[in-house]
Amino acid sequence: MSERATVRETPAAADAARRLQRKDLVGIAELSPEEIQLVLDTAEAMKEIGERPIKKVPTLRGRTVVNLFFEPSTRTRTSFEVAEKRLSADSLNIAAATSSVLKGETLIDTARNLEAMAPDLIVLRHPSSGASHLLARTCRAGVINAGDGLHEHPTQALLDAFTIRARKGRLAGLKVAIIGDLVHSRVLRSNVSLLRKLGADVWIAGPATLLPPGVEQFGVRWTTSVDEAIEGADVLMMLRIQLERMRGGFLPSLREYFTIFGLTVERLRRAASDVIIMHPGPMNRGVEIASDVADGPHSVILDQVANGVAVRMAVLYLLAGGVDHEATA
Amino acid sequence: MRREAVVPVVMDADRMSRSITRIAHEIVERNRGVDHLGLVGIRTRGVPIARRLAAALHAITGDEVPTGALDITLYRDDLMRHPVGPQPVVRRTEIPFSIDNRLILLVDDVLYTGRTIRAALDALIDFGRPRAIQLVALVDRGHRELPIKADYVGKNLPTSQRESVSVHLQEIDGRDEVTVERAEGTPAAGGPS
């Protein structure tokens, strides 16, 4: 590196200064591998803030973030909320159950009304696929997708990647098996997209009734044999059986599902000796995963929760830095 | 963009090393030893300078002074003021000791407007309550915009605001020297590197 950087008083100015070249985070599909690495690298620094006695920095002081949730969520919403507070942003929670959505207001009208309060970012969780796209196109504020229907859940995939990287030091070349309810999972879609961009060997496994249509085009290996997917795997991601999204006979019974597809100590023996087990939560113990595995030494499920805050801080920081409004200029 | 030779070197490797040794002696003299001292370098180039000071203090007193690294990006006052343009990469702050009741020596390469130091002070205070903070700068080039003054200075360097001061360190740049040059056209800070 013979290029001479102009060193002013701020040392960081000498480093390559990068940022997300976008206003919104709607899905992993749009992100380049470099942007994904930037989020993960930034999350490293954010994680350290969570280890301090005073877990707060003034970075987003005076910025407003609206958490707009049209679906029940504890983990994701609280994770975003903690992330916003640690960055000193003002946050506002709107849950569909307590808002005028019940009175028949459309998503766009709700958003326009919120916009009148000049938020900098809107974090949206919505049951319809594509809701984040719609909002991103309509609003001046940046939109962060916190899960839209069966489409994407980008921050979950980012925190999963961060957790894998923290444990394994890399993603490229790892065998990652994603097992469970594949058809109803936005987490699957975001994770497949991210893991492939970063060069992991991705396998998906589940009952034939729960394989997503068009699975051949995912660019992953798929099987209905959980044992085959687990064989030699470095990472196992268990997906929740989403009973609330199932209308009709996807499964004969939950007990049968557990017998054939559930992750048990016996099945785990086929995996690599240093395998890590992940679950985006909330877990159905005794359905997709046995309790002794979920609480066992290979489980990193609670790391995922802690890392979720760091990754969401990184996303908030990187997007808020890009959206500066005329109003504040 | 090649810049031909004639970049005035205002501090070479020898002078840099002597300055650091001299500052180490001043630190020992002023604080009557190195008990309860801690060094915190401001990323990026304050960190290797802090490490060198720790080595120099060890050579003088035989005691180890704990050393940490501080990233001030999240405390900057200009962070959100640029609608477009690059944003600095946030790096980890690593202070592997408690700063409570310790005398902290805050170390940076160039002291200029004082805004970095303001941010660093805010960041440090979030880690605890040091007994005192003293400031070390390898180069003080003047033009302060805040009421901040260094306690130990390697070299006072009168400059014009149109000049740019570059500190190069072995650990990062492969050589030790400080240069001053006139910035023509004054490009935006950072730039691709």
- For residues A70 and A218, what is the distance between their CA atoms, to the nearest angstrom? 28
State yes or no: pLDDT of B193 exceeds 70. no
Question: Which DSSP symbol is given to A274?
Answer: T
- Report whether pLDDT(A19) > 50: yes
Q: What is the pTM of this model?
A: 0.87
What was the pLDDT predicted at A59? Answer: 92
Contact B106, B135 (CB under 8 A): yes
Asked if the model's pLDDT at residue B187 lies above 70, the reply is no
In this complex, the residue of A5, A42, A46 whose CB is nearest that of residue B89 is A42
d(CA B1, CA A288): 59
Report the alpha-carbon distance of residue A157 to residue A146 in Å, rounded: 11
The pLDDT > 70 percentage for chain A reads 88
Amino acid A3: pLDDT: 36
Chain B contact for A51 (CB, 8 A cutoff): no
Q: What local confidence, expressed as pLDDT, does residue A96 receive?
A: 78
Please list, residue by residue across A129-155, b when 16 or more beta carbons sit within 10 angstroms of its beta carbon and e when fewer do: eebbbbbbeebebbbbbbbbbbbbbbb
Tokens, residue B25: 């002696």
Task: Report percent pLDDT > 70 for chain B.
Answer: 87
ipTM score for this prediction: 0.81
CA A54 to the chain's CA centroid: 26
Q: Inter-chain contact A54–B127, Cβ cutoff 8 Å?
A: yes
pLDDT number for residue A311: 98
Residues B29-39 as b or e (16 or more Cβ within 10 Å = b): eeeeebeebbb
Residue A297 confidence (pLDDT): 96
Quick: pLDDT tens for A55-95. Answer: 999 999 999 999 999 998 889 999 999 999 999 999 999 88
Residue B6 banded pLDDT, cuts 50, 70, 90: low
| DSSP codes joined into one string, A306-322 | HHHHHHHHHHHHHHHTT
CA pseudo-torsion sign A19, A25, A28, A30: negative
Residue A171 pLDDT exceeds 70? yes
- A135-158: pLDDT as tens digits: 999 999 999 999 999 999 999 999
- Whether the per-residue pLDDT at B79 is higher than 80: the answer is no
Residue A328 confidence (pLDDT) above 90? no
Predicted local confidence at residue A244, as pLDDT: 74
Distance from CA of B17 to the nearest CA of A (A): 20
**DSSP structural state of residue A200:** -
Mean pLDDT of the region A289-301: 96
Catalytic machinery residues of A: 75-76, 103, 125, 153
Q: Stretch A17-30: mean pLDDT, rounded?
A: 84
Share of chain A above pLDDT 90, in %: 70
**A217 CB near a chain B CB, below 8 Å?**
no
Number of neighbouring beta carbons within 10 Å of residue B55: 16
Q: Do B89 and A46 touch (CB under 8 A)?
A: no
List phi, psi (to 5°) of A202.
Answer: -100, 130
| All structural domains of chain B | 18-78+91-152 (3.40.50.2020)
**Residue given tokens 């559930």 in the structure block:** A262
Share of chain B above pLDDT 90, in %: 81
User: Which pLDDT does position B2 carry in this prediction?
Assistant: 53
- pLDDT band per the 50, 70, 90 thresholds, residue B28: very high
Q: How far is A140 from chain B (nearest CA, A)?
A: 13
At residue A183, does pLDDT exceed 70? Answer: yes
Q: In this structure, what are the phi and psi dihedrals at residue A184, rounded to the nearest 5 degrees?
A: -95, 15
How much is the pLDDT for A247? 65
Closest residue on chain B to A7 (Cα): B166
pLDDT tens digits along B92-133: 999 999 999 999 999 999 999 999 999 999 999 999 999 999
Q: What pLDDT band is residue A243 in, cutting at 50, 70 and 90?
A: confident
Contact (CB<8Å) A18/B89: yes
Residue of B nearest to A55 (CA): B126
Residue B82 pLDDT: 55
Q: Name the minimum distance, in Å, from the CA of B56 to any CA of chain A.
A: 23
Three-class SS state of A71: coil
Give the list of residues 6+ apart from residue A72 with CB closer than 8 angstroms, or none: none
pLDDT class of A18 with cuts at 50, 70, 90: low
pLDDT band at A109 (very low <50, low <70, confident <90, very high): confident
Query: What does the alpha-carbon distance between residue B113 and residue B140 come to, in Å, rounded to a whole number?
Result: 10
